[in-house]
Each structure stands twice: as structure tokens, then as C-alpha cells.
Structure 1
Amino acid sequence: METSDLKIISADVRKDIIKMLSLAGTGHPGGSLSSVELLVSLYFKHMKFNPKDANDQSRDYFILSKGHVCPVLYAVLARLGYFNPDELCTLRKTGSRLQGHPAKDKELPGIEISTGSLGYGLSIGAGIAAGMKQSKKNNRIYVLMGDGEQQEGSIWEAAMSAAHFKFDNLCAIVDDNGLQIDGATKDVMNVNPLADKYRAFGWNVIEIDGHNLEAVDKAYLQFKTEEGRPTAIIAKTVKGKGVSYMENLVEWHGKIPSKELVEKALAEIDRSLR
């Protein structure tokens, strides 16, 4: 798939996110929007999966560690045919399979594990990676985390073990948008220099612009050729990317735009393709 195609898909996913959250009246737009290119490139170009059989044993695994940004994952899965896109409008509704955080018990195809409490996704990914290695299988495991999430100690226990056991089938992706619910990550609990930390733990580290689809593509390709150690992709992103009044503002971590602002956001996203 060409970069131009991925740009169109990314814009469509952004519009899905805005519409879903507007209908729900609650949720997390900022981090969902900052993760778009990372997931679009991964799913539409790099991962092995089968929408008709979500439990296909040859599939790659995706763990959304920062579970609150599930709107971006739901939008991508729907566009790939895991479920009917009409179901997106049920986000956070009573009885919906599209909960405010991914819920495995709702039996939504494409959801590998329930997440929400931050800090556990990398440990889960490392566990799956260990199982694949022991079974001599070639499945790859991708884990998307937030930069604020790096403040959790469990992240670094997993990072240490993944490097020690040489899990080169494991790729950690950090959506480094610099903001978390309480403010700037550097003010709440500074995690920088993040790339140096992963290098010190023995990881292959790739630093990229997380909105540059060519750079994202190259990073995933590099991960696939790395041997003997796990890969961490530190993706510098913009919280609220694609919607000017949301970009780099912490208040849009969990705030829903008014009807008028929804229309403004959708128009801006459309203009970005011209």
C-alpha cells in the first residue's frame, strides 16, 4: 500500500475518532489522534492478521497498553473488516462491545487482552513473545504505550526481561506526545531521556516522527530485521494531531468537543488531504 493511500486512511480514521467520541459524549481524543499513523501503518502494511478469523494461529499480536485510546484501534479494526463499521457509533454505550477501554470479555474481534490500568501491556507482550519463542513460532508482538505510562515500574521490569531473553519478536511503540492527564510528562514525572533508557536496558531503539508515514514504515521494517534483542520505537507525536484547537493541549486528553467544534475538526481533517 502506498503512502498516499495510508494518508487517506489516516484522515478517515481521525474522522471516525471524532465522530465516535462526539456520539459517546465521553472518551479520550488527544492520545487517540496522536496514535493514528502508528496504527494505520502497522495494520495496513506490516502486521499479519485475518479479520475473518481473529484467532488465526499465524497472526501477529497487538496489545494496546494505553487502553484509553481504544477509539483509534476500533476505527482501524472496523475499516479492516473485523466488525461492521456501523458498530462504531455504540462506543461507550451500555451493552456495547466497544467499551471505553478494550474488553476481551465483550468478544470484539481483534482485541487480544483487556487493558486500562497502565503499565501492564509490555509485560503481557513479553509473555506472549516468550511463548512464541518456546514454541518456535514466527509471530511478532507489538505493544503500543504512552509516554506517561513509562513512569510505571512494571514497564522497566518487562524491558529488562525482554532484553535479557533476547525477544527480538517484540516491538514496543511509545506514543511520545509529551502530555498526560495531569500535565506535561516532564513536570509530572520526567521519563527523559527515554531512548537512552531503553538502550541502557539492551534494546534496539529507533527514534522517529510518529506522524511521518515513511519514517514509521521504515521503523517497522527495521524491527523485522533486528536479531537478538527487542525493538523500541520512540515516536515523537502531537497530542490531538490533525485538529488545530486540540494540538499540544493537555485539556483535550479526555474532553469532548461541542457540535460546532466537531464540524470544525472534520473540515480541517478533510482540508489536510488537499
Structure 2
Amino acid sequence: MTTTTIRRPDVSVEELEDLSYELKVKLLKLCGSYSGSVHIGGDLSVADMFTALFQYGMRVDPSDIANPERDRFVLSKGHAAVAMYIAMSIRGFFDYDEIVRTYGQLDSAYGMHPCKVQLPGVEASTGSLGHGMPIATGMALHGKQAGADHRVFTIVGDGETGEGSIWEAALAARSNELGNLVVLVDRNHQLMTSMSEDRVVLEPYVEKWAAFGWNVMEIDGHNMSELVGAIDALPPADSNRPTAIICHTVKGKGVDFMEKNIGWHAGSLSQADLERALASLAASRKES
């Protein structure tokens, strides 16, 4: 295994917070440069989680994307692809300027949902909600059967956990004792057109995962210390229970006019809105 494929425990929480802020600024600037809609609300709710994974928690090497010992990542919440692209660009996988220049264009590698055929380094094509976690479960099962020591990580939106395929995968993961599978749930309590509990009663949420036999953690998904602590507390990959990290988040986090605002599930920013959003993000960082 090359040294860059090893996790980066030398990165401090403060450095991770800086990298997460960089990701959010770049998200907003892309949203301001693209004429179509960007899923900016949900991108902002997972930005800290992406930073913790790609800059700290996962064994990956941008220069050796096929390394068999690498950790795998599947974005089950496929419409948060922009946040993933930018997180990976900060780690060195992609060029940010190329993302901005080509995003959403015909034949671009950087589409609204990730495509592994178009973009080497992406482990699975996702976008249809409820599909990514079952794919990750299959990857984890293969890894276990092969005797590998890597983990498979996936980010799942809480809204998509209304899909039966998620719970079928949860049953399969526990039944096959996939301790190498880690699911981070973006629990922002919000869907595209409503709050989640208005459509699907998910609570008691943590207890549901625990009832399926999973190892469950519950954290503030915007607190980098808690994200790092959850990653550090993961049981060994060869343990017999998969882990669900329930990350309580806010859709549109850090931008006052986007937070918990149904209208900002997706959209684009005018120059004036971009300046306002960047100022709000900077102010919220100082307050935290």
C-alpha cells in the first residue's frame, strides 16, 4: 500500500474546518457561475461530512485510483454530486476549474449525478435514490469474502431512507456481518418539497437502525470534532456489525437565506445573491 493510501491522522480538526470552508466557498461560486440549478441546499448539508471522509477518514490515493487496498465511497445521495466532486478535487482527484468550466454540459464528466463511466475515481453511478446503499452493501460483501481489510463508506440522505431498498440492504448487511460497511446519514429532516416528517414518519430514527442490529452513532454532522471522533471510534473492519453514523445536519448550512428553506433544495445564484451567500458563510464561520 502506498503511503498516500493510508488515512491522514496528521490532519488537525482546525485544518479540516478550513478545508470544509474552502469546499463550501467553491460550492457557492460554482452555483453562481452555472446557469442551471445546483442542489446547493443538500450539498451544503453534507460538505463537512465529505471533508471528514476524503481529507481524513478514508484510505485513498488520487494517483492510484485502482489500488485494491483503497477504501471505497458510494454517494447514495446522488444529487449531492457537486459537493463530492469538489471534495475530491481538494484531495487531488480532479481539477476544480475543470468542474466549473464543464459542469452540467453535454458530455461533461461532471454531471448532476455521478457517473463512473465518465469519471474514473467514482466507484458507482448513482442518482436514483435508494440504490447507492445496496450497491455499497454488495461491495462490502465482496470485500469481506475476498478477505480484504478496506472499508466501504456511503452517504445516504434521510429522505431516501423511506425507500424499502435501504432497509433490505440494512438487513442484508447485518445478516452478512459486514463490519466493513459504514453508512453516514444526512439527517437534515428535509425533502425536496417538504420537511421529511410531513411525508414519511422516520422517527424514532436512531432506534430503527439499532433494531436492524447495526452499530449506531449519533452526532452533529457539522461538528468536525464529532465527525473525526466517530471515524476514530469505528470498530475494526472485520467486526460483525455494520455502522450507521446518524449526522444531524441543516440543509443550506452556513447561508442564512438557504438554511431550512424549501426553495433552496436546488437553484442558482445571481452575482448579488452570491456575494450575500459568501458574506453569510464567512459570518457563520466566525460565530462557530
| Length-normalised TM-score, structure 1 | 0.96
Letter in 2 for 1:138: D
- The residue aligned with 2:19 is 9
Segments of 5+ residues of structure 2 without an aligned counterpart are: 1-10
- The residue aligned with 2:87 is 76
Question: What are the within-5 Å matches in structure 2 for residues 171-210 of structure 1?
Answer: 171-210=182-221
Structure 1 residues 94 and 28: CA distance shift in structure 2, 3 A: same
Structure 1 residues 75 and 136: CA distance shift in structure 2, 3 A: same
Pairing partner for 2:265 from 249, 253, 256: 253
Question: What are the within-5 Å matches in structure 2 for residues 113-192 of structure 1?
Answer: 113-192=124-203
User: How far, CA to CA, are the matches of 1:183 and 1:31 in structure 2?
Assistant: 13
Pairing partner for 1:234 from 246, 249, 253: 246
State the 1:109 CA deviation: 3.3
Q: CA RMSD of the aligned region, Å?
A: 1.2
Identity, % of aligned positions = 38
State the 1:24 CA deviation: 2.0
Deviations 1:191-243 (A, max 9, x none): 11111111000000000000011111111122244721000000000000011
Instruction: Give the number of equivalent residue pairs.
Output: 273
Deviations 1:49-70 (A, max 9, x none): 1101211111000000011011
SS at match of 1:234: strand
SS at match of 1:35: helix
| Length-normalised TM-score, structure 2 | 0.92
Letter in 2 for 1:245: F
Segments of 5+ residues of structure 1 without an aligned counterpart are: none
Deviations 1:71-124 (A, max 9, x none): 110111111111222112121122211000001121x23211110000011111
Deviations 1:125-146 (A, max 9, x none): 1101110111100010001010
Letter in 1 for 2:279: A
Which stretch shows the higher mean deviation, 170-179 or 93-102? 93-102
- The residue aligned with 1:215 is 226
Asked if the contact 1:205–1:233 (Cα under 8 Å) also holds between the matched residues in 2, the reply is yes
Which stretch shows the higher mean deviation, 252-261 or 242-251? 252-261
SS at match of 2:210: helix
Structure 1 residues 224 and 39: CA distance shift in structure 2, 3 A: farther
Asked if the contact 1:70–1:101 (Cα under 8 Å) also holds between the matched residues in 2, the reply is yes
- The residue aligned with 2:77 is 66
State the 1:272 CA deviation: 4.0
SS at match of 2:234: helix
Letter in 2 for 1:258: S
Is 1:267 the equivalent of 2:282?
no
State the 1:184 CA deviation: 0.5
SS at match of 1:223: coil
State the 1:35 CA deviation: 0.2
Pairing partner for 1:50 from 61, 65, 75: 61
State the 1:19 CA deviation: 1.4
